[in-house]
Structure formats: structure tokens, C-alpha cells
Structure 1
Amino acid sequence: MTLHPQEIEARFRRHAVRVTRQRAAIYAALVETGSHPTADDLYRMVTRQHPAMSRNTVYYTLGVLRKAGLVQEVNVGHEVARFDGNVTMHHHLICVQCGRIEDVMDQELDQVKISNRRAKGFHVLGHRVEFHGYCASCREGRRDASPSQG
């Protein structure tokens, strides 16, 4: 999805985020990518168009955008944090081999609830379901590496 500068500005204003060219470029790169990049991945993406941008600006901006609710941080195991520009209700498929993350839109999963008894006093604000396994590419690679039977 390509975001127009006016749409980015409107989203920032709705979430009380000061609009700068650097922030807009970082946000647009994240929203427009179908992947779930790390901060370093985003830095490499945005410096193609904005070579003077610092790595620190990318890290700081991601913190501002996350706190404002414009992006989500996705932590996969003990890996470096990844970021998601899609803040609508959705879930993830995560490859345990290559780390690929795919969005899953599923209304049934959106409706999952936990009983008050099982919540054990937690006030639940939301949930996200993660499915862990092997993506098609890694599954194919595993088949190629397995000993042949015969």
C-alpha cells in the first residue's frame, strides 16, 4: 500500500506525533513493505532515498511511532525486534528457520476470548496469535537436505 504524504500527516496528527520528513519516510517505508523489518533493515531502506539519515533517528522514530500506536513491535523468540506497520487486528505465521513473518487475517482468531477465571486477575487489552513452523521455502530446503529413502 502506498501512502500519500497527506495521509501520513493526518495519521501523525491524529496520534499527536510531530511530522518531520524523516519520520514520514520511516513510517512510509514500514507501512509499504510487506515484511516485518528490523530497525537496521528500515535504516538500509530509507537511506537509499535519504542518505543523510542516521541510524539513531530510525531507532528513535520507531520508539515514538510504537508509543503512539502507529506501529507494532513484533518479538520473535530472542531475535532482534521486528516492526509491523499494520496495527489492525491480525496474527502471524513465523518461520522458525529463516524468521520470515507473514500476516494472518482471521476473524475467528480475532474473537478468541479468555474467561475471567483463567485470566487470573489480568485486565486483558488484546491478543495476537502466532503460528510457528516452516515457510514453504524452508520446508523445501529441509526436504532437499533429508536423506533419501529407498
Structure 2
Amino acid sequence: MATFDDALAYLKGENIRITPQRIAILEFLTEVPTHPTAEEVYRAIEEKFPGISVATVYNNLKLFTEIGFLREMNYGSSSSRYDFAITPHYHVICQKCGKVSDFFYPRLDDVEMAAERLTDYQIQSHRLEIYGLCPTCKNITE
């Protein structure tokens, strides 16, 4: 999926009910430049939808992930973060505050091919994470 409109058209094409809450969650995910947790999504839309539950948010995030236009990113024991996956990219994660930033780099297809040759696995995908301190946390420690 590339945009909110593309995602909405896909949902309609699959005969998935389009609710105001679902639209609000989808709008937030496509507009926010960060990688929010389910709790952050909930907090962002609860004012507009006071009756919405955290379970509704989780259920919709799960649906969007299963459909394939949202990627769940789980980093250890912390809460999962969600990425409205538009193009292949990688992530840099702050070890202090947990901020996740995208960076684009040519796909590492040669690494997948090498892993396949060396292990005899049938490689289907890969994920690259780089850890460090974000500019804000770096400036606090200096």
C-alpha cells in the first residue's frame, strides 16, 4: 500500500467493513512519521472516539498487519511498534528512549543469497536493525 486511499480501497475491495474508528486508526498510521505503539495509536484517537477501547485498536492493528499494509515491529520485551510499510527500508533504534527512525538503503539481496547458500535455508525475508543513541539522547549524554 502506498497511501491512505490505497489502503481504504483495498479494505473496500475485500468487503471489510469501513468504520469511523477503523478510518481514524488508518489515517493516524498513514500520517504519523513515527512508529507508534498500540497505546500511542489509542491515545491519538481516543479524544475523537471516547468510547473506543484499546482492544479495538489492537484488533484493527492485527487486521492491518495480516492484510499486509502494516508491519509489526517487536524489539525485545518492549511494546510492538507499527510501521505503515510503503517501501523497503531499515530501522535505527535509540537504545535510551526507544525512538525508531527509518533509513533507506539498497536491499541486501546478496546477504539473503549468501545465507541461503551457507545454511541451505529457503530465505524469504530479512530485517536489519541498527542500535545507537538518537540525536536528542546523544546530546543529553554529552
User: Is the TM value for this pair above 0.5?
Assistant: yes
Tell me the TM-score normalized by structure 1.
0.81
Residue of structure 1 equivalent to 2:117: 117
- Answer yes or no: is the 8 Å Cα contact 1:16–1:68 preserved in 2: no
Q: 1:23 to 1:78 in 2, by over 3 A?
A: same
Residue of structure 1 equivalent to 2:54: 55
Q: 1:18 to 1:121 in 2, by over 3 A?
A: farther
Give the SS at the match of 1:45. Answer: helix
Runs of 4+ in structure 1 over 6 Å off: none
Structure 2 counterpart of 1:75, one-letter code: N
Please, which runs of 5 or more residues in structure 1 have no aligned partner?
144-150
Distance, in Å, in 1 between the alignment partners of 2:91 and 2:41 is: 20
% same residue: 30
Q: Which has the larger radius of gyration?
A: 1
Deviations 1:29-61 (A, max 9, x none): 112111111101100001122222111100111
- Answer yes or no: is the 8 Å Cα contact 1:94–1:100 preserved in 2: yes
- Answer yes or no: is the 8 Å Cα contact 1:27–1:85 preserved in 2: no
Tell me the TM-score normalized by structure 2.
0.85
* 2:90 equivalent to 1:94: no
Give the CA deviation at 1:110. Answer: 4.4
Give the SS at the match of 2:136. Answer: helix
Give the SS at the match of 1:76. Answer: coil
Distance, in Å, in 2 between the alignment partners of 1:110 and 1:71 is: 21
Structure 1 counterpart of 2:88, one-letter code: M
Q: Please show how residues 127-138 of structure 1 align to structure 2 within 5 Å.
A: 127-138=126-137
Q: Please show how residues 1-150 of structure 1 align to structure 2 within 5 Å.
A: 6-13=5-12, 17-107=16-106, 109-114=107-112, 115=114, 116-118=116-118, 120-143=119-142
Distance, in Å, in 2 between the alignment partners of 1:14 and 1:78 is: 36
